[in-house]
Chains A and B, each alone.
Chain A
């Protein structure tokens, strides 16, 4: 079936000149530390903790409702040091997930209600199933599907999902239109 258009209330969203659509109801701390590269969608309820460390987000990323982005930390000489969080392009993070990964690559699909713990590294083109809990320091290789509690390798992704996922995120952005 053809994907449908999603409409939003124009008053609720801020649109920047680079095409980012940020909802006013999202809780963004430290906005000077957060860099959005363009064409991102940030839905209501999203929490981004830029006050802890810089957060760099690539283009065409979509954060659905109630996602929490919190940079991870390292223990150095008894003190906590927060490290920069990097998110690549075409990343889709679905409702309710808590993401504390240190690096997320391009074309990643994170499912609903996932918990991605500190210092995790998600490489390009991977998928995390709904409800997965990744333990700290996990490294997810490319073209794999991880799921379960705790998350382990489940299966390999078919090669074409890269293209389909890119189309999914771009298409979602293009169909995210304001109510006239």
Chain B
């Protein structure tokens, strides 16, 4: 999970309502609740699936039928990069087979080749049906236990309270019972000492744990027995507010649209970004940048911060004239004001500073207001 928040001091984090601290880049904003949300306060759901190679969108049911893997794209068993379909044309015949561009693995040795593209894909399907014996065996086991559950309920207590036990019954009860579908025991011949000494082992030809576990059924020990696996699909996820269950972020399913989101309520669009401009011995100079398209008001309260209400312009001076409600009440904190940024000076009691901010901004016709705590850590 890759998060944009950095935990190397000096950093500036915001505290969410649930008590955890996050950077501004990771947080969201819910409009109906008028609340800033951290990634743990949004629930994520899966909207659709897509293949990372062919970018084909798959709906839920189709993805489940293919075990959340692409039907047409395969990955190399050695390096997990995408396999290309290569043509090996000799004088006798043209052979299509899979090949990896980065580690030069190819599927000829496994027998995965065909005279045409369709034949190649068909030959691979057969290869992957190898899971079916395991699935059939599982079905038999499930049916056995379901049957036994039903029988035990019927017979149940009567079996325990058997009135008369004969010696044969006792003998029978301690005999081992035959298993259903017993698997043939394969006798492995132990390698001899000399054989083991003279064996030339190429470390890279033996599979690593990750290469083995990507093929859970066979778990091959040698790399030349490992087969090409289909690529697992990736997901497009939407996020909802935990409290009011409305959408916060909703992605676009169609890749060709220029905006990748149908709905995108990130906190960076509504709350000012705060940077540290300079660290002096007794005070800090902070830079606040207003991202909204209208004048916004901030009121800061903290340990060595006198409560004051400041206003920030937006980047468009016309919008400022239209939307401003008047300038700040207190200009003493402000050192510099430039376009949509202001620099303010706050006192520095220690290396760990907590400031409460009340932020009021406009989006369209609505005025939204919320409170959030800012945590500045310098060392």
Direct contact of A and B (CB under 8 A): yes
A interface residues, Cβ below 8 angstroms from B: 1-3, 117, 123-125, 133, 135-139, 141-145, 150-164
B81 contacts A160, C-beta separation under 8 Å = no
With A1-B10, A139-B55: A152-B81 Cβ-Cβ less than 8 Å: yes
- Which of A144, A150, A159 lies in contact with B52, CB distance below 8 A? A144
B50 contacts A141, C-beta separation under 8 Å = yes
CB distance from A72 to the nearest CB of B (A): 13
A139 contacts B10, C-beta separation under 8 Å = no
CB distance from A160 to the nearest CB of B (A): 5
List the B side residues contacting A144 at CB < 8 Å.
Answer: 52, 234
A124 contacts B2, C-beta separation under 8 Å = no
With A2-B277, A163-B266: A139-B249 Cβ-Cβ less than 8 Å: no
List the A side residues contacting B81 at CB < 8 Å.
Answer: 135, 138, 150-152
B55 contacts A137, C-beta separation under 8 Å = no
Instruction: List the 10 closest pairs (A to B, CB-CB), nearest first.
Output: A135-B102, A150-B102, A2-B275, A155-B2, A135-B101, A150-B81, A160-B25, A160-B266, A136-B101, A158-B4
Docked CA distance A152–B75 (Å): 10
List the A side residues contacting B54 at CB < 8 Å.
Answer: 139
Closest to A143 in B: B260
- Which of A139, A141, A158 lies in contact with B234, CB distance below 8 A? A141
Instruction: Give 13 new A-B contacts, CB below 8 A, not counting A141-B52, A145-B2.
Output: A2-B277, A125-B260, A135-B82, A141-B50, A142-B255, A150-B81, A151-B81, A153-B52, A159-B261, A162-B260, A164-B4, A164-B25, A164-B268
Show 17 residue pairs from A and B whose CB-CB distance is below 8 angstroms, ordered by the A residue: A2-B275, A117-B101, A135-B102, A136-B101, A138-B82, A139-B52, A141-B50, A141-B234, A151-B81, A153-B52, A156-B234, A159-B261, A159-B266, A160-B267, A161-B4, A163-B268, A164-B25
B interface residues, Cβ below 8 angstroms from A: 1-4, 10, 25-26, 50, 52-55, 79-82, 84, 100-103, 234, 249, 255, 260-261, 264, 266-269, 275-277, 287
With A2-B287, A160-B268: A139-B2 Cβ-Cβ less than 8 Å: no
A158 contacts B102, C-beta separation under 8 Å = no
B249 contacts A137, C-beta separation under 8 Å = no
Closest to A135 in B: B102
Docked CA distance A142–B1 (Å): 16
A142 contacts B260, C-beta separation under 8 Å = yes
CB distance from B250 to the nearest CB of A (A): 11
List the B side residues contacting A155 at CB < 8 Å.
Answer: 1-2
CB distance from A70 to the nearest CB of B (A): 17
List the B side residues contacting A142 at CB < 8 Å.
Answer: 255, 260
Docked CA distance A177–B52 (Å): 40
- Which of B1, B4, B103, B275 lies in contact with A160, CB distance below 8 A? B4
Closest to A119 in B: B101
CB distance from B33 to the nearest CB of A (A): 19
Query: In this complex, which of A156, A158, A162, A163 has the most chain B Cβ atoms within 10 angstroms of its Cβ?
Result: A158
With A141-B52, A142-B255, A144-B234: A150-B79 Cβ-Cβ less than 8 Å: yes
CB distance from A62 to the nearest CB of B (A): 20
With A1-B10, A135-B81, A150-B79: A160-B26 Cβ-Cβ less than 8 Å: yes
Closest to A158 in B: B4
CB distance from A17 to the nearest CB of B (A): 24
With A150-B102, A161-B25: A137-B84 Cβ-Cβ less than 8 Å: yes
List the A side residues contacting B79 at CB < 8 Å.
Answer: 150, 152
A152 contacts B80, C-beta separation under 8 Å = yes
CB distance from A136 to the nearest CB of B (A): 5
List the A side residues contacting B2 at CB < 8 Å.
Answer: 145, 154-158
Docked CA distance A141–B260 (Å): 12
B277 contacts A139, C-beta separation under 8 Å = no
With A125-B260, A137-B101, A139-B52: A158-B82 Cβ-Cβ less than 8 Å: no
Docked CA distance A156–B84 (Å): 24
List the B side residues contacting A156 at CB < 8 Å.
Answer: 2, 234
CB distance from B123 to the nearest CB of A (A): 22
Docked CA distance A153–B2 (Å): 12
Docked CA distance A145–B260 (Å): 16
List the A side residues contacting B55 at CB < 8 Å.
Answer: 139, 141
CB distance from B345 to the nearest CB of A (A): 14
With A138-B81, A141-B55, A161-B25: A150-B103 Cβ-Cβ less than 8 Å: yes
A2 contacts B80, C-beta separation under 8 Å = no
List the B side residues contacting A136 at CB < 8 Å.
Answer: 101
Closest to B235 in A: A156
CB distance from A18 to the nearest CB of B (A): 22
CB distance from A128 to the nearest CB of B (A): 13
List the B side residues contacting A141 at CB < 8 Å.
Answer: 50, 52, 55, 234
Closest to A133 in B: B102
Docked CA distance A148–B211 (Å): 16
Docked CA distance A136–B99 (Å): 12
Closest to A151 in B: B81
